[in-house]
């Protein structure tokens, strides 16, 4: 590298740019991301200025894919869109764009143009100095926030920090309020028990709507949050308004479709989602939501006697069709892949299902607790019913409870495990300790540690050398001090420990 190139590289390192934000290529699903961004560009989705964002994001993806010429064209287009959108306010919005252009020119060995863009950034910073030496401009924090939010869920925490910083500097800015609300929505578990009153995401969505009352995405996201608090009338009003302002916006309508599904209005949900597919067939979210609707229709028929087998197969195959499309569009869509594997198993494709589950289970590190619990529950169902590995199924039902009983999935696992334990206690002596161990794990997950201790003690009476039960009992006794004992889950009651039937 030439001496001028070395000096320039030092200057480039000081720029605010996607090339300096520690965005690791291995964290990104580049093909999936490229498809999503192109979809947003083609449909010009998003609020004021969002199209310019999409061009910038796509430019960086194209660079990572080894297409620098296309990356340059997209960045140039983004610059023009930014100037059109913000006019005399555009300079601070271009700090990151010019930083990206400087880096891109550097990587193509056009050092002269790279230096020119470095100078443009310097000129803007002189003209518009930041409020303090330690702060960036709010526009830069915002750009970082949107980038992290769009690129990968592994960067959601960073996105939240960036929008929070931007709001410290401009608390009433509608864009930073919206970005912060969307980030909180995506990172917050939908668990009412964790937030007896409205959650931080719910409150921030309300604040963001105060700044931008006609944002269809915010309206629909708030409606989905309010369903958790049984505020159905308010949610219904929000959906009505979202339909008025965003009926042509696929981002809005896909959330509306999800809302209808959660309200068990399956036909309405299917109608909305299928209509959106006519506008964009490359949405993994929409295909997944349709699959969930068809799965619900299938499940509604399973309990009927006699079972309408042909109809059940019809809905299952529609579910599979849309799950296959969802995972083809977005390979890293682990919940969809796990559900598809379970449905393959129900169609007797056991080996194929096992391979998919094995692959998914290796890649759950960055998933939220509720998604991991959901996937463990699906794998437990597969092992218990389809793969004929009941003990492994029980292991994964219990593994799902390691996160606590935080969702309907957790409650489903508790119900299933209690039923299994009851059946084993009614049998012969084999498996009795196993049954008490199951009940101990359930009681612990329910927050009733005293009851869990009783169950594990009974398990050890039957199987004195079992390391799992000994370890669990030791941990529980350490947790149970006089102060902590009163803090067991208030709704958990320790029933009399059942005795097996001989």
Question: What would the DSSP string read from start to end of 393-411?
Answer: HHHHHHHHGGG-S-SHHHH
Q: Summarize pLDDT for 296-344 with one digit per residue, the tens.
A: 999 999 888 888 999 999 999 999 999 999 999 988 899 999 999 999 9
Looking at every residue in the chain, the average pLDDT score rounds to 90
What are the helix (H) ranges across 170-249?
174-187, 200-211, 216-228, 232-246
What distance in Å separates the CA atoms of residue 177 and residue 171, rounded to the nearest whole number? 8
Share of the chain above pLDDT 70, in %: 91
pLDDT for position 119:
97
> Which pair of tokens denotes residue 234?
């308010």
Q: Summarize pLDDT for 373-393 with one digit per residue, the tens.
A: 999 999 999 999 999 999 999
> Which pair of tokens denotes residue 1?
């590298």
- Asked if residues 103 and 15 have their Cβ atoms less than 8 Å apart, the reply is yes
| Helix/strand/coil for 247 | coil
What are the helix (H) ranges across 401-466?
408-425, 432-445, 449-462
Q: Cis check for the bond before 306: say yes or no (omega within 30 of 0).
A: yes
- Asked if residues 328 and 344 have their Cβ atoms less than 8 Å apart, the reply is no
For the residues 59-79, what does the mean pLDDT come to? 96
pLDDT for position 191:
60
264-429 matches 1-129 in CATH topology = yes
* pLDDT at position 494 over 80: no
Higher pLDDT residue, 418 or 39? 418
- The CATH fold of domain 264-429: 1.25.40
Nearest alpha carbon to residue 255 among 151, 371, 241, 53: 241
For the residues 409-420, what does the mean pLDDT come to? 94
pLDDT for position 215:
95
pLDDT for position 429:
59
pLDDT for position 228:
86
pLDDT classification of 103: cutoffs 50, 70, 90: very high
Q: Summarize pLDDT for 104-149 with one digit per residue, the tens.
A: 999 999 999 999 999 999 999 999 998 887 789 999 999 999 999 9
| Domain boundaries, given as residue ranges, for the chain | 1-129, 264-429, 430-502
* pLDDT at position 195 over 60: yes
What distance in Å separates the CA atoms of residue 40 and residue 167, rounded to the nearest whole number? 26
In this predicted structure, which of 47-51, 246-250, 295-299 has the lowest mean pLDDT? 47-51
Distance linking the first and last C-alpha atoms of the chain = 82
- Asked if residues 214 and 245 have their Cβ atoms less than 8 Å apart, the reply is yes
* pLDDT at position 258 over 90: yes
Q: Summarize pLDDT for 423-452 with one digit per residue, the tens.
A: 988 876 568 999 999 999 999 999 899 999
Higher pLDDT residue, 499 or 21? 21
pLDDT for position 483:
47
| Helix/strand/coil for 67 | coil
Residue 237: count of CB within 10 angstroms of its CB: 14
pLDDT for position 248:
85
pTM of the model: 0.88
Question: What would the DSSP string read from start to end of 94-159?
Answer: GHHHHHHHHHHHHHTT-HHHHHHHHHHHHHHHHHS--SSTTPPPHHHHHHHHHHHHHH-GGGHHHH
pLDDT for position 350:
98
| CATH class belonging to 1-129 | mainly alpha
């Amino acid at each position: 590298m030439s001496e001028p190139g070395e000096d320039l590289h030092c200057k480039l390192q000081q720029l605010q740019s996607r090339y300096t934000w520690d965005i690791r290529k291995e964290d990104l699903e580049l093909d999936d991301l490229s498809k999503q961004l192109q979809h947003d560009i083609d449909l010009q989705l998003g609020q004021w200025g969002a199209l310019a964002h999409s061009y910038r994001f796509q430019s960086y993806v194209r660079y990572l894919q080894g297409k620098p010429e296309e990356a340059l064209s997209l960045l140039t287009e983004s610059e023009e869109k930014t100037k059109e959108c913000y006019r005399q306010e555009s300079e601070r919005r271009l700090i990151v764009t010019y930083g990206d252009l400087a880096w891109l020119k550097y990587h193509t060995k056009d050092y002269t143009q790279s230096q020119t863009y470095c100078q443009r950034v310097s000129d803007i910073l002189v003209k518009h100095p930041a409020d303090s030496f330690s702060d960036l401009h709010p526009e830069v924090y915002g750009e970082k926030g949107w980038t992290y939010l769009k690129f990968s869920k592994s960067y959601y925490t960073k996105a939240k920090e960036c929008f929070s910083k931007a709001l410290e500097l401009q608390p009433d800015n509608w864009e930073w309020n919206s970005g912060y609300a969307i980030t909180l929505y995506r990172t917050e578990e939908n668990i009412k028990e964790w937030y007896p009153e409205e959650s931080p995401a719910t409150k921030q969505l309300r604040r963001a709507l105060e700044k931008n009352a006609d944002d269809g995405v915010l309206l629909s996201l708030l409606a989905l949050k309010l369903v958790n608090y049984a505020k159905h009338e308010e949610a219904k009003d929000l959906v009505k308004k979202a339909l008025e302002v965003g009926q042509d916006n696929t981002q809005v309508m896909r959330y509306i479709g999800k809302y209808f599904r959660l309200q068990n209005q399956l036909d309405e949900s299917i109608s909305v989602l299928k209509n959106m597919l006519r506008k964009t067939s490359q949405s993994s979210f929409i295909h997944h939501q349709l699959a969930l609707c068809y799965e619900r229709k299938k499940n509604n028929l399973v309990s009927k006697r006699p079972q309408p087998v042909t109809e059940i197969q019809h809905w299952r195959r529609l579910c599979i069709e849309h799950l296959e499309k969802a995972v083809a569009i977005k390979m890293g869509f682990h919940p969809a892949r796990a559900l598809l594997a379970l449905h393959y198993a129900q169609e007797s494709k056991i080996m194929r299902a096992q391979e998919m589950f094995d692959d998914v289970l290796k890649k759950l590190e960055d998933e939220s607790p509720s998604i991991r619990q959901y996937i463990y529950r699906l794998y437990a169902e597969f092992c218990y019913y389809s793969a004929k590995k009941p003990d492994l199924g029980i292991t994964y039902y219990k593994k799902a409870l390691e996160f606590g009983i935080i969702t309907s999935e957790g409650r489903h696992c508790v119900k299933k495990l209690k039923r299994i334990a009851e059946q084993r206690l009614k049998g012969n002596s084999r498996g009795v300790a196993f049954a008490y161990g199951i009940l101990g794990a359930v009681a612990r997950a329910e927050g009733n540690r005293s009851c869990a201790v009783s169950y594990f003690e009974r398990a050890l009476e039957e199987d004195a050398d079992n390391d799992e039960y000994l370890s669990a009992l030791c941990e529980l006794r350490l947790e149970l001090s006089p102060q902590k004992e009163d803090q067991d889950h208030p709704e958990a009651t320790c029933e009399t420990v059942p005795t097996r039937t001989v």
